[in-house]
Structures are given as C-alpha cells and as structure tokens.
Structure 1
Amino acid sequence: METPILIIDDDQELCALLAEYLGTQGFAVAAVHDGAEAVEHLQKHSYSALILDIMLPGMQGLDVLRKLRERSATPILMLTARGEDTDRIIGLELGADDYLPKPCNPRELAARLRAILRRADSLGTQTSAQTSVGDTILDRGNRSAEYAGTPLQLTSAEFNLLAVLIAHAGDVVSKDTLSEEGLGRPLSAYDRSVDVHVSKIRKKLAEAGGDKLILSVRGAGYQFVSPTGN
C-alpha cells in the first residue's frame, strides 16, 4: 500500500520530479504550490507526512508550519535554502520534524521520509502501550503524552525523543543515540535538531508544571529524571 504524502512547494517542475521518483519508492504524492492553499487543503485531506518548502508565494512556509502545528502533529520535513541555518532552527522550534537543504537529493529525501515514518510506527506499536516516569505518561498506542494530567501537544519528533529519554530514564542519553533512535538518522556535525527539539519538550513540560525534568549533561547528552530524582 502506498504511503500518502503532500509536497508544498511553488516549484512545479521540482514537484513533478520528486513525485516521479517518490512514486517509485512506495509513496503516493500530491502537490500544492501555494501556502494558503495548502492550509485549506489540509483541512479536508490527511497525509502520512508533509514536505514543506520554506520559500513560498503569499503565505511563507514558516507561517504555514505555524498554522499546521496549531492542530496537527503530522510529520513535516522542511526544504530550506542551503546555508540558511536560521530558517532551519526556527522551523524546528515551530515543530518541523526534520529538514533538508535545497537542491536536495531525491534518494536522501526518500530516506528521511522513511526514517520519520519508521520512528512513528515503531514507537506506536511497542508491546507496552503506556510508559510513565513520575507524573509524565506516554501512550504509544495513540502517540500522546501528558504531565500530571495535562496533555503535552508534542510533534512527532518531540514524542519520539521524549519516548527515548523516558525509556532510558535516570541514564544519560547521548545526542548521537537520541538522533539515531528518536529521529532515525545519524547525528551530523553542526546539526542542532536534537537540542532544538529537547528545548521545545522542556518548555511544554514546564508549562504543564514539570520543570527541570530533562537535564543537560555537558559533553554527554540529556537525562530524564522524575521529580524525586528516580
């Protein structure tokens, strides 16, 4: 069965090329070429993942991302201009799951999409549906999380990383491990994805009353602790 994905990019030639290649890789590809149109389209249609270009006519890609994250946790892979680190970081902070610079290699794009979807699937089908540490509860069955009864509105990548941290609660988890197990890809040099996602998780936990649950261990990684330190 083909996996439905949507490309949101105003470069129609690129969309056609990507759709042709991804179609051979098991994806059913649709495309929208305008930001506002994409937001409206996604109110009526659902996809397993989205590919979103940052540079769009009318409503910019980051604005589209912000709108989508208000109501959806669908995995989103951003396409950014090469060298635009600021856009990448802002995109991750707004809830994007991953990014690739343009022009991108279609083969790498397909691999990144599979990694995003594989992590969502594997973490959603583990034997133990619920895991808890202190007042933090993860439900892998419906991919939801809460702290002290308050739902945490996590993106797909944030849920994956929190699941890894909670699975290793009390232990320091390296950024390499978090990237491999949470994002489905090796951590590359200068890649701040893990740091940005963890920062967002911390903020959402703190807003629910769970402050200082994820510790930074300089030069080593991150550690999830219960309120009692267990």
Structure 2
Amino acid sequence: MKVLIVEDNRQIVDVLTRYLQEAGYETAVCYDGEAALTYFEGEPVDFILLDIMLPGVDGFTICRKIRETSTVPIIMITAKTEDADRILGLEVGADDYIIKPFSPKEVLSRMKAILRRIHFEQDRPSAKLFLNGIELQLENRKAFYRGQEIRLTKKEFEILALFAQYPNKVFSRDNLLDTVWGYDYYGDSRTVDSHIKRLRAKLTAAHVANCSIETVWGEGYRFGLSL
C-alpha cells in the first residue's frame, strides 16, 4: 500500500516516512500542492496524508480536486485548531484530521481505523435501498430519484442510507458520528449539522416528495415519511 505524504515540513516528512515504512507501507512525498496534484494524476495512491498550509495550492483545494475523481482515503494534517477549519476539512472530503503536534503512532492508528471501515464496506453484499422513490445503490454510493442522480458526498450518502434503513428512527448527533464517522472520530459534532443541512438542500433541489429530514429538538434527526 502506497501512502502519499503532502507536507512542506521536512522534519515531519522524515518522521512519518520512517515510521510508515517500518510499519510496512510504501511512501511517496510531495512538498507543495501543485506537485501533489501532478503526482496524484500520474501515480496510483492508496492513502494520502495532507497538510493544509502548503506552498502554492492549499490542502483544502487539493482535497476538493481529488474528490472530483477519487474516494482515496485522506487524513488532513494541520496546525489550525479553529473548529471552522477542521469542519471545512471534513466537508471538502477528508476522512479525518490530525492537529500538530502529533505522534506518528496516532497517525498510523487513524489510518488503520479508516481502512477497517473501508474494508467493512467493501465486504458488504451489493444491494439497493428504496425509500419513497429514492434509490440508493450501496456498492457505488449513488442516489437516484425518479431516474435522476442526486450527487452526494460519501458522508451525505452514508447518512441518507442509514436513514433509509431506519425510517422514522431518531438518531442523535453522537449516533450519527459513531455510525458514519466511526467510534474513534474526535471532531466537532457540529459537522453533523452541516452535512444534514447540505443533504436537505440536495433533496429539496431534486424535488423529492413525501419525505424529509426532520429535526427532533433535544434528540437529533430522523427521516420522516408522509403519505
């Protein structure tokens, strides 16, 4: 498995490279954003460790561009501690983030947790879910309503699939974080609200009828059905 490290701090690169190689991973390194995008377009990569503050193209932009064509796992590495920056990283498509300073052991632990979730999802049998005209294709994470695709991010799709499996069940923010993001997610629960808001907007734009994501005050969210 090849891990692409995108980081301009050479000391951090050296530590991560040595630790990952000792753990059995192949590594590649890019020290700026443009080099990272060029490398990704031309070489197969299985995992990306991505700094946010980079020369040239920043990590947020890189993540957005990669997500246009790939679901490769991405962990953002950042010195930014503001909630808004961390939430933005997740919203543009990162699977997780780590705040500097960090230990390479933590990085490896987060990587393994993400890979376990991916392998679990890949081992699930191919299936579709149907809910009031919405078709969810679990294998390729695509959603359709009356034959038209609703373009969803990975997390938006997973939230909608969970609601589709349990219509009218109330999920708290913690329930959604544990199920969709994983038990070892350490981020802000407000990212759930951001994803729900965007998912609602996309369902409205697709003119989905007779169902909606309802806020149950003091409890969480549920996918409500109406006749």
Q: Identify the TM-score tier after normalising by the shorter chain.
A: 0.7 to 0.9
Q: Which residue of structure 2 aligns with residue 200 of structure 1?
A: 198
Match of 1:143 in 2: 141
Pairing 1:37-76 to 2, within 5 Å after superposition: 37-76=35-74
- Please show how residues 51-200 of structure 1 align to structure 2 within 5 Å: 51-186=49-184, 188=186, 190-200=188-198
Instruction: Report deviation, 1:112.
Output: 2.1
Shift of 1:53: 1.0
Verify the 8 A CA contact 1:21 1:106 in the aligned structure 2.
yes
The change in CA–CA distance for 1:78 and 1:185 in structure 2 (over 3 A counts) is same
Q: Is the 8 A contact 1:124 1:143 kept in 2?
A: no
Which is worse superposed, 18-27 or 165-174?
Answer: 18-27
TM-score by length of 2: 0.84
Q: Deviations over 1:148-205 (max 9, x none)?
A: 3333333333333333332222201122222222111256584433233333333333
Closer, same or farther: CA 7–14 of 1 in aligned 2, 3 Å: same
User: Helix, strand or coil for the counterpart of 2:144?
Assistant: strand
155-164 or 3-12: which moved more? 155-164
Mapped to 2, the partners of 1:163 and 1:25 lie a distance apart of 35
1:218 is matched with: 217
Aligned residues: 226
In structure 2, how many angstroms separate the alpha carbons of the residues matched to 1:218 and 1:26? 48
Q: What runs of 5+ residues in structure 2 fail to find an aligned partner?
A: none
Partner SS state of residue 161, structure 1:
helix
Alignment partners' CA distance in 2, 1:60 and 1:87? 13
Q: Which residue of 2 aligns with 1:34?
A: 32
Return the offset for 1:56. 0.3
Do the aligned partners of residues 60 and 104 (structure 1) sit closer, same or farther apart at CA in structure 2, a change above 3 Å counting?
A: same
1:55 shift after superposition: 0.3
CA contact (8 A) 1:180 1:187 kept: yes
Q: Deviations over 1:69-98 (max 9, x none)?
A: 333333322122242222212222322222
CA contact (8 A) 1:75 1:155 kept: no
Are the equivalent residues in 1 in contact too, given 2:5–2:50 (CA < 8 A)?
yes
Select between 118-127 and 36-45 the one with higher mean Cα deviation.
Answer: 118-127
Structure having the higher Rg: 2
**Equivalent residue of 1:142, what SS?**
coil
The answer to whether structure 1 residue 4 and structure 2 residue 25 are counterparts is no
Q: Quick one: distance in 2 between partners of 1:68 and 1:51?
A: 13
RMSD: 2.6
Distance 1:51 1:112, change over 3 A: same
Separation (CA, whole Å) in 2 of partners of 1:119 and 1:154: 19
Identity %: 38
Q: Distance in 1 between matches of 2:132 and 2:67?
A: 27
